[in-house]
Amino acid sequence: MANQFLTPKIVGLEALRILRPQLAMLAQVNVDYSAEFVNVGDTISVRRPTDFTANDMLNSDGTYNQTTVQAVKEGSVPVKINKWKDVSFALNAKDKTLILPVFSDRVLAPAVTKLVTAVETDLLNLFMDVPSYYGTAGVTPATLPDYAGIKNTLFQQKVPFTDRKVSLFIDGTATMNLQPLLTVLSGGSGNNPNLEGNQLAVDIYGMKPFSSQLISAFTPGTIGYEASPIASGAALPDLASGTQFISIASGASTGTLKHGDILSFAGCAGTYVVLGSNSAGGSEVYTASSGAIAAVPIYPNLASSLSGAAVTVLGAHTPNLAFHRDAFTLAIRNLAMPESIKAEVVTDDDTGLSLRVSFGWDVNYQQDVCNIGILYGAATLDQRLAARFLG
Q: What is the pLDDT of residue 197?
A: 52
Do residues 188 and 154 share a domain?
Answer: yes
CA 145 from chain centre, in angstroms, equals 25
Do residues 91 and 133 share a domain?
Answer: no
Do residues 276 and 333 share a domain?
Answer: no
Q: What single-letter DSSP state applies at residue 277? A: S
* Any domain includes 354: yes
Do residues 151 and 101 share a domain?
Answer: no
Do residues 276 and 198 share a domain?
Answer: no
Cα distance between residue 294 and residue 246, in whole Å: 7
Supply the CATH number for residue 364's domain.
3.30.2400
pLDDT in tens, 339-386: 888 899 999 888 888 999 999 888 887 888 899 999 999 999 999 999
Cα distance between residue 117 and residue 193, in whole Å: 27
Cα distance between residue 245 and residue 63, in whole Å: 43
Query: Containing domain of residue 80, as a range?
Result: 8-47+71-126+327-379
* Any domain includes 265: yes
Do residues 205 and 234 share a domain?
Answer: no
DSSP line for 157-186: TT--STTEEEEEE--HHHHHHTHHHHHHHT
pLDDT in tens, 91-130: 776 766 667 788 888 888 999 999 999 999 999 999 999 9
Do residues 309 and 332 share a domain?
Answer: no
Contact 87, 114 (CB under 8 A): yes
Do residues 170 and 187 share a domain?
Answer: yes
* Any domain includes 61: no
* Any domain includes 3: no
pLDDT in tens, 279-288: 444 458 888 8
pLDDT in tens, 287-318: 888 888 888 999 999 988 999 999 999 999 99
Closest CA to 376 of 204, 122, 75: 122
Cα distance between residue 24 and residue 36, in whole Å: 26
3-state SS, residue 296:
strand
Supply the CATH number for residue 262's domain.
2.40.30
Do residues 139 and 84 share a domain?
Answer: no
- 54, exposed or middle or buried, with CB in 10 Å at 0-12, 13-18, 19+? exposed
Do residues 239 and 299 share a domain?
Answer: yes
User: How confident is residue 192, by pLDDT bands cut at 50, 70 and 90?
Assistant: very low
* Any domain includes 272: yes
Domains identified in the chain, total number = 3
Cα distance between residue 227 and residue 115, in whole Å: 43
Cα distance between residue 246 and residue 261, in whole Å: 14
CA 115 from chain centre, in angstroms, equals 16
3-class DSSP string for 360-391: EEECCCCEEEEEEEEEEEEEECCHHHEEEEEC
Do residues 256 and 345 share a domain?
Answer: no
DSSP line for 60-118: TTS-BPPP-PPP---EEEEEE--EEEEEEEE--HHHHTS-HHHHIIIIIHHHHHHHHHH
Do residues 226 and 302 share a domain?
Answer: yes
Q: Among 107-111, 197-201, 216-220, 328-332, which is the least confidently predicted range?
A: 197-201
**Percentage of residues of the chain with pLDDT beyond 90:** 35
Closest CA to 373 of 28, 22, 40, 4: 40
Cβ within 8 Å of residue 172, ≥6 positions away = none
Cα distance between residue 309 and residue 321, in whole Å: 29
Domain boundary (286, 313, 340) is at 313
Distances (CA, A) of 41 to 7, 11, 356, 377: 30, 27, 18, 9
